[in-house]
Amino acid sequence: MKYEKNTEKFIESLDLETPDPEEQELYSRRITSYSVEALKAAVAVDRIFIGHPAFVQAVKAMDRIFQLAPEMDLPHGMLLVGPTGAGKTAAFKYFRNTLPSSSLFAPGDGAIGLRCPKRPRVGHFVAGLLKAYKYPFAVGSAQQLYVRRGLVFDAIKQKGTRLIFVDEAASMLKARRLGSGLDGDTEVSEFFREIVDECKVGLVLAGTDELDAIAQIDSALASRLTVREELSPFYSDEKWVGVIQSFSKECKTFDITALASPDLAHLLHRATGGNLRSLKRLMIEAILIAFDSKKAVIDRAILSKAFTLAFGSANLQSNVFA
């Protein structure tokens, strides 16, 4: 399709990672609605990370595990808990993107990120890791991929990977159960226990608070994930205003400092529920509109139009900017 090809070329020109399906759909829609110049301006906003205290703590925890896990016989890992859009994936991306170059691990392979499907099998993760390492046979039947676990272990060691991040990991708890095991562990949790122990790599499982049940599913894996950090939506208070202020300071394309005023900050909270992903989605849409309208300042009228475009005209929540 024409628009799909244009989207792929645009993403490639910006040296971006291929987005997940939801973000791919957004890029496809936007490229039919906005100029390429506007999209480039919005991408700069998409790359903004808000270093609020919980975000910084999560990054520091990953950094500590990254440093210690390969050096110690004692396993190191953590749970990163929070609702969708709270910034768990963003924290990992920021951590990975700011890793210094080192001779200890191959470029880009120091920290590997995986996404857990809704019905995970070991083969999913074997394929994901082999693909991350650009192995030529990262596809195959479930049985073929299961057999290639040994290749994954060798690759982790050879590439010097020190941390593996698994997003949406709560689905791991619903994976197929093993036929044996004292506390009902799954084939997936056993696979990651093997990786942690054999490869001396740090493991970070990120997901909703359903992850807290891991001790009941696999106590052995839970004992290796002793750190717990949490990212939560913000209340409409001074911390939220601080987030808006930080966002405005990082935004170099447009002047959005007015958004930190008490009235607009409160409306932004009502519109997004204090969720950082929703905030960024709204701000990206607003900047796209402002850019193509040749306006240098984002006002309430632009936010009203952006809300409708970002969340839909039939959204169950009313447009607070209208």
Q: pLDDT per residue over 90-131, tens digit each?
A: 999 999 999 988 777 878 899 999 999 988 888 889 989 999
Distance CA 42, CA 31 (A): 12
Q: Say which range, 19-28, 40-49, 213-222, 273-282, has the weakest mean pLDDT.
A: 19-28
180 pLDDT higher than 90: no
Report if pTM > 0.95.
no
Cβ neighbours of residue 134 closer than 8 Å, sequence gap 6 or more: none
Distance CA 150, CA 201 (A): 15
Of the pLDDT bands very low, low, confident and very high (cuts 50, 70, 90), residue 11 is very low
> Bridge partners of 112?
164
Mean pLDDT of 34-45: 83
- Using DSSP's 3-state secondary structure scheme, residue 164 falls into strand
Distance CA 67, CA 76 (A): 10
Residue 8 or residue 161, greater confidence: 161
What pLDDT is attached to residue 142?
64
Mean pLDDT of 164-176: 87
Domain boundaries, the chain: 53-230, 233-322
Distance CA 60, CA 72 (A): 18
Percent of the chain with pLDDT over 70: 83
Residue with tokens 């703590």: 57
Distance CA 274, CA 266 (A): 10
Mean pLDDT of 23-49: 74
**20: buried, middle or exposed (CB in 10 Å: 19+, 13-18, 0-12)?**
exposed
Of the pLDDT bands very low, low, confident and very high (cuts 50, 70, 90), residue 148 is confident
Question: With respect to CATH, is domain 53-230 assigned 3.40.50.300?
Answer: yes
What pLDDT is attached to residue 176?
59
Angle, alpha carbons 47-49-55 (nearest 5°): 150
Distance CA 46, CA 38 (A): 12
Residue with tokens 């290796």: 224
Q: Say which range, 68-77, 167-176, 256-265, has the weakest mean pLDDT.
A: 167-176
What pLDDT is attached to residue 21?
59
List, as one string, the DSSP characters of 193-244: HHHHHHH--EEEEEESGGGGGHHHH-HHHHTT--EEEE--PPPSSHHHHHHH
Q: Say which range, 23-37, 52-66, 209-223, has the weakest mean pLDDT.
A: 23-37
14 pLDDT higher than 50: no
What pLDDT is attached to residue 19?
52
Distance CA 59, CA 65 (A): 10
Residue 38 or residue 289, greater confidence: 289
Lateral strand order in the sheet of 202-207: 111-115, 163-167, 202-207, 77-81, 227-230
What pLDDT is attached to residue 232?
95
What pLDDT is attached to residue 1?
41
Mean pLDDT of 163-187: 73
